[in-house]
Amino acid sequence: MLREVHVTCPSNVLIIGDSHTLLSGAAEAFPDCDISARYGRESSEGLEVLETTLRPDHEVVVFDLSTNDVLDPPAFEANLDRLLERADDRQVVLVNAWRADFRNLHRRVNGILQRFAERHPDRVTLVDWAGFIGAHPAPLGDEPDYIHFTSAVYRDRAVLVSDAIAAARERAGSSRPQ
């Protein structure tokens, strides 16, 4: 179903994610990328995946993990520092979070992500998923769990991530004709 979304992802991109990555149809949307995604994955597990899957030819690492870290923002912040260290000189794409809960837990994590991206503008591209969802008229569908979205919204997410990958590749000077 998500093959109708045209996105580009060369084989030198590693995507590590959670349920949002899966629900975006990443395997179909990004067939040439190396992808590891699992429901409920936190950033600490994502770092373990990075250790075992990062190859020398990966130029961009998409770390699509923030939603499941809202209960421990200090650990998440430390994991971002570890991510940048382990990614060496590669470009990193991060995606912020959106959750509808009365405590707005995602806002603290998103602040951490924003400050991190601002400290590393030459290495980090931040996808503003929260801003996209906040501006969307009906992202949750008929039976919401207030964390996940409609398939149409996830198609848009795949495009947003694809655009961020393209920006990161351009910044790395590795853009090539497809």
- 92 falls within a domain: yes
pLDDT, residue 142, reads 79
- 27 falls within a domain: yes
Least confident of 2-6, 16-20, 101-105, 148-152: 2-6
| Per-chain mean pLDDT for the chain | 88
pLDDT, residue 9, reads 63
Q: What mean pLDDT is predicted for residues 22-50?
A: 92
Q: Which residues of 139-152 are buried (b: 16+ CB within 10 A; e: fewer)?
A: bbeeeeeebbbbee
Q: Which of 140, 162, 159, 161 is nearest to 151 (CA)?
A: 140
Look up residue 44 and give its two tokens.
């600490």
Residue pair 57/12 in contact (Cβ under 8 Å)? The answer is: yes
Write the pLDDT tens digit of every residue in 114-125: 999 999 999 999
Write the pLDDT tens digit of every residue in 42-53: 999 999 999 999
- 63 falls within a domain: yes
Share of the chain above pLDDT 90, in %: 67
In the chain, the number of structural domains is 1
pLDDT, residue 36, reads 92
- pLDDT level of residue 1 (50, 70, 90 thresholds): very low
- 177 falls within a domain: no
Residue pair 165/157 in contact (Cβ under 8 Å)? The answer is: no
pTM of the model: 0.89
Of residues 142 and 159, more confidence is placed in 159
Write the pLDDT tens digit of every residue in 69-108: 999 999 999 999 999 999 999 999 999 998 887 778 889 9
Domain interval for residue 59: 2-172
- 56 falls within a domain: yes
- pLDDT level of residue 3 (50, 70, 90 thresholds): very low
Distances, alpha carbon 124 to alpha carbons 80, 111, 132, in Å: 11, 15, 19
- 178 falls within a domain: no
Q: Measured between alpha carbons, how far is 35 from 46 in angstroms, rounded to an integer?
A: 11
Phi/psi region, residue 171 (left: phi>0; alpha: psi -120 to 50; beta: rest), is alpha
Residue 39 sits in a domain whose CATH number is 3.40.50.1110
- 119 falls within a domain: yes
